[in-house]
Structure 1
Amino acid sequence: MAMVSLDGADIEYELTIPLVIVGGGACGLVAGLAALSRGVEAVVLERDSTPRGSTFMSSGFVPAAGTRFQRALGIADSPAIMANDILTKNERQADPDIVAALAGASAEVIEWLADEHGIPFELVQGFLYPGHSQMRMHCTPRRTGEELMACLLNAAESAGLPVLTEAKVTTLHADQERRIRGVSYQRPDGSTEQLGCDALILACNGYGGNPDLIAEHVPEMASALYYGHEGNQGEAVLWGQSLDASLKDMAAYQGHGSLAWPHQTLISWAVMMQGGIQLNLEGRRFSNEHGGYSEQAARVLGQPEGIAFNVFDGRIHAQCLQFEDYRNAESTGAVKTFETLDALADGLDLPPEAVRDTFREIQALQETGEADRFGRRFAPELALSAPYYAIRVTGALFHTQGGLEVTTDGRVLDRDSQPFPNLYAGGGAARGVSGAGNSGYMSGNGLLSAVVMGALAGRAAANQCA
């Protein structure tokens, strides 16, 4: 149970650490590394036996603008371009100052992690995710969040950042001035330990795994499959409510309209961006597949049985083999191959005439260059050809994007827009940059908030502790 107690000034802590960080995902680890770089001692408290978080379950892509990785490939990008892309996607609902701060610091943070901590970043090439005007996704070689987490944990160990696992924080101890004096955390044997601090960073992600909070704030996804970390129980939100903190954009979330079903393997949206389509059980398209994979989750769930089929071809299949998740899907039999459209319709139990009509319409649109009724245009060079590939998918909730309102350096604000004395937040615990709903999410927004805000909050908290 996430609680706040106002007894913080009365407790004699056996041990006090300048900076305590709750949560050992990307945000918490980067925040700790950033604090150490300022010469400030920090400790990360992680509830699980192995730090994973939402980062582990992601593709591990971190957007950044103006990096040397981009320049080496001749890509002209800037924080201003990136910030405009983010704000355009979320219809300027996000805090523009936060967006500017994250975009502005993104390149420096990526290069710092690469140079100082050996994170082997490289640039994803070949296609643009919805909303991005430049190739700016930075990832580790295997292109998985699992690998990114492993790299960050190695960096933490090398830097001497202690990560205490199986330490579930239950209570924040504050004083009458709302200064956090320490925390209580529960150990595996049920015992409770207390730890004092000079500053606290909440990096414990969102509330996607809390059905009550989802029903309250994101009712449209209350019955959706939750494909996120089970530890995302919303403790930061609950602590914030007890402290009268400001909460913003609580209906915002990242969904995904391409989760292989029943295999439950994430299928990259590169399938759609390279020319793929989605068909429902009636053999028809139902949306603009280039609009974004987050909002596509609700659209897929709105189809008969909440099911769709990703349909693509050998060209796209070959490109997707660079993604480990896709290779895993193929190895489990999720990827089906058909020599003709009629074979595809028969194999997927779709009405064959509807499938043929759909492809005839696409061909006509390629010839005329006109947009379809959903607003999508079909480039002739991306035309699908036999053999055809298909994956049965559903929509899912991945993680929430709303949370504690923060300043550009991660300071948590109260309902009167005043900062708490020594409380910081980042990643899924804080308000993100995706606006107020599901359509503002742009690929990488979650890890942008985790990695870059983690660094900014870690530095700011360290400066306060120094």
Structure 2
Amino acid sequence: MTPHDEPRVVRAAAMPAGTPAVPVAIVGAGACGLTAALRLRDAGIDCVLLERDAVPQGSTALSSGFVPAAGTAVQRAAGVDDSPERFAADIQAKAHGTAAAHLVRAYTEAIAPALDALQQRHGLAFELLDGFLYPGHSVRRMHTLPARTGAALVGALTAAAERAGAMLVTDALVRELWVGDGDRVLGVGYTRPDGGVEHLASDVLLLACNGFGGHRALVAELLPEMRDATFAGHVGNDGSAIAWARQLGLALADLGGYQGHGSWAVPQGVLITWALMAEGGIQVNAHGRRFHDETQGYSEAAVHVLAQPGGVAWNVFDERLLALGRTFPDFRDAEAAGALRRADSIDALAVVIGCDAQTLADTLASARRPLAPPLYAIKVTGALFHTQGGLDIDARCRARRSDGTVHPNLLAAGGAARGVSGNAVWGYLSGNGLLSAVAGGYIAAHTARELLEAA
């Protein structure tokens, strides 16, 4: 990032003459921004989404696309008994009680109405992921579109937003926040592919843009254990929200929280679903030894894997789990790319891994579930996917100042704001990122409407 590209705050009495205006401007057209835009349009409020890419992608497109929610119509139809309270308890159990309580409550209560509205009003055909539980979830609550990819989710949200009349401006990289008296946001400035700068004024601004996982200096500063890890997230996670917050004196929170993943295939660079580990697969290091409890979750597994010789491990599983893996598009992509290795015996698997056969046999004998030949292995490393810290916000997604007061018209949610994973890698419960994005966008839109009505 050159100095000309650095996010900056521009202090001025007004936006440049002739600047177009909109009630709500949204920085970022991922799951958070698009959900907010849809709810605003449901309320008849005009909004503009400013998206840095030519086509909306972001962290959402790189995710699994699985959104956890409690008490949805989809769950009820499947006979699943769940509640926001139960979901909140699972989140706090994973985070050892360190997740922001006000956001845990707000998000677990908002996510079911948000998904139901997306399904009933905008045609997103969610279904309940069946067959296994991700670590930490006490019931089935992962909602997915039939394609089972994050790209499908962001594509469906984008199409719905365009049908609903939300204006989407792509190739628009927001670099400037214009602020006036009392730090009230006046609008934004964004660069275009030809290097030109355009401006947009707004009454309310929602930062739904990014985390900081792609900013190496911030990762080194705030997540030193991941400074050398592969970043498997989107380039848009450049820390701009943090830069603006620091310039405005806004509070930041949970900057040590992040989503890692201990199952990033190397050298293929493809995510291997943790469903294999959840259902009985194991991870072994280059010596054929198991080195952690895979049932604790894939986020903290990243740190465990990176601590192994060479920073790599092997996912080991059998035919039963292979069949499960092949139900996930990312797994099929990894297999097509040559990541999957087959071995008809433990001795043959030891050759694949390059370890002692007896050591590996002893490890497999102690597996949680018996693994019967033929066996399969995929070489993986630990990766950083998405940060979970950012602007401190209240339960209405209003940005907080360092003194605890709320900003008059700046909202933040999704990757730009603190999440519900606490301040460490082990606090991340599967799906927390999309929970914060979808529920946060839904809540932020309601808050924007209230701010507009009160003006």
Common fold by TM > 0.5? yes
Aligned to 2:33: 28
Q: CA deviation at 1:157?
A: 1.4
Cα 1:31/1:340, change in 2 over 3 Å: same
Contact 2:15/2:178 (CA < 8 Å) preserved in 1? Answer: no
Contact 1:201/1:426 (CA < 8 Å) preserved in 2? Answer: yes
Q: CA deviation at 1:357?
A: 1.4
Q: CA deviation at 1:463?
A: 2.5
Check if 1:155 corresponds to 2:142: no
Matched residues in 1 for 2:338 and 2:365: separation? 29
Cα 1:92/1:8, change in 2 over 3 Å: farther
Check if 1:120 corresponds to 2:143: no
Matched to 2:37, the amino acid is: G
Matched residues in 1 for 2:114 and 2:189: separation? 31
Matched residues in 1 for 2:80 and 2:13: separation? 51
Aligned to 2:436: 449
Q: CA deviation at 1:97?
A: 1.2
Aligned to 1:336: 341
Q: CA deviation at 1:10?
A: 6.0
Aligned to 2:62: 57
Equivalent in 307, 315, 322 of residue 302 of structure 1: 307
State which drifts further: 185-194 or 200-209.
185-194
Cα 1:183/1:104, change in 2 over 3 Å: same
Equivalent in 367, 376, 397 of residue 410 of structure 1: 397
Q: CA deviation at 1:191?
A: 1.1
What SS does the corresponding residue of 1:216 show, helix, strand or coil? helix
Aligned to 1:366: none
Matched residues in 1 for 2:357 and 2:434: separation? 42
Matched residues in 1 for 2:20 and 2:364: separation? 67
Matched residues in 2 for 1:48 and 1:188: separation? 10
Contact 2:15/2:186 (CA < 8 Å) preserved in 1? Answer: no
Aligned to 1:196: 201
Check if 1:438 corresponds to 2:443: no
What SS does the corresponding residue of 2:14 show, helix, strand or coil? helix
RMSD of Structure 2 on Structure 1 (CA): 1.0
What SS does the corresponding residue of 2:35 show, helix, strand or coil? helix
Contact 2:287/2:354 (CA < 8 Å) preserved in 1? Answer: no
Contact 2:10/2:178 (CA < 8 Å) preserved in 1? Answer: yes
TM-score normalised by L of structure 2: 0.97
Aligned to 1:368: none
Aligned to 2:94: 89
Matched residues in 2 for 1:272 and 1:83: separation? 24
Contact 1:8/1:182 (CA < 8 Å) preserved in 2? Answer: no
Aligned to 2:139: 134
Contact 2:397/2:411 (CA < 8 Å) preserved in 1? Answer: yes
Matched to 2:424, the amino acid is: G
1:150-229 matches, cutoff 5 A = 150-229=155-234
Check if 1:42 corresponds to 2:47: yes
Cα 1:321/1:15, change in 2 over 3 Å: same
Q: Deviations over 1:131-185 (max 9, x none)?
A: 1111100011111101101101110111111110011111111112111011111
Q: Deviations over 1:180-218 (max 9, x none)?
A: 011111111111111111000000010000011111110
Contact 1:8/1:173 (CA < 8 Å) preserved in 2? Answer: no
Matched residues in 1 for 2:116 and 2:335: separation? 34
Q: CA deviation at 1:462?
A: 2.2
Aligned to 1:98: 103
What SS does the corresponding residue of 2:175 show, helix, strand or coil? strand
Q: CA deviation at 1:320?
A: 1.5
Q: Deviations over 1:203-239 (max 9, x none)?
A: 0010000011111110110110000001110111100
Q: Tell me, which stretches of 5 or more residues in structure 1 are unaligned?
A: 363-377
Q: Deviations over 1:247-294 (max 9, x none)?
A: 001011100000111001101110001100001000100000111100
Query: How many residues are aligned here?
Result: 448
TM-score normalised by L of structure 1: 0.95
Q: CA deviation at 1:318?
A: 0.6
What SS does the corresponding residue of 2:189 show, helix, strand or coil? strand
Q: Tell me, which stretches of 5 or more residues in structure 2 are unaligned?
A: 1-5
Equivalent in 70, 80, 100 of residue 85 of structure 2: 80
Aligned to 1:392: 379
Matched residues in 2 for 1:251 and 1:183: separation? 29
What SS does the corresponding residue of 1:407 show, helix, strand or coil? coil
Matched residues in 1 for 2:157 and 2:108: separation? 21
Contact 1:40/1:465 (CA < 8 Å) preserved in 2? Answer: no
Aligned to 1:9: 14
Matched residues in 2 for 1:140 and 1:219: separation? 36
Q: CA deviation at 1:11?
A: 3.8
Q: Deviations over 1:392-443 (max 9, x none)?
A: 1100000100000111121100001111000001101000000001000011
Aligned to 1:264: 269
What SS does the corresponding residue of 2:426 show, helix, strand or coil? coil
Contact 1:336/1:390 (CA < 8 Å) preserved in 2? Answer: yes
Aligned to 1:420: 407
Matched residues in 1 for 2:13 and 2:231: separation? 36
Matched residues in 2 for 1:89 and 1:341: separation? 35
Q: Deviations over 1:70-115 (max 9, x none)?
A: 1222211000000010011111111111101100111111110011
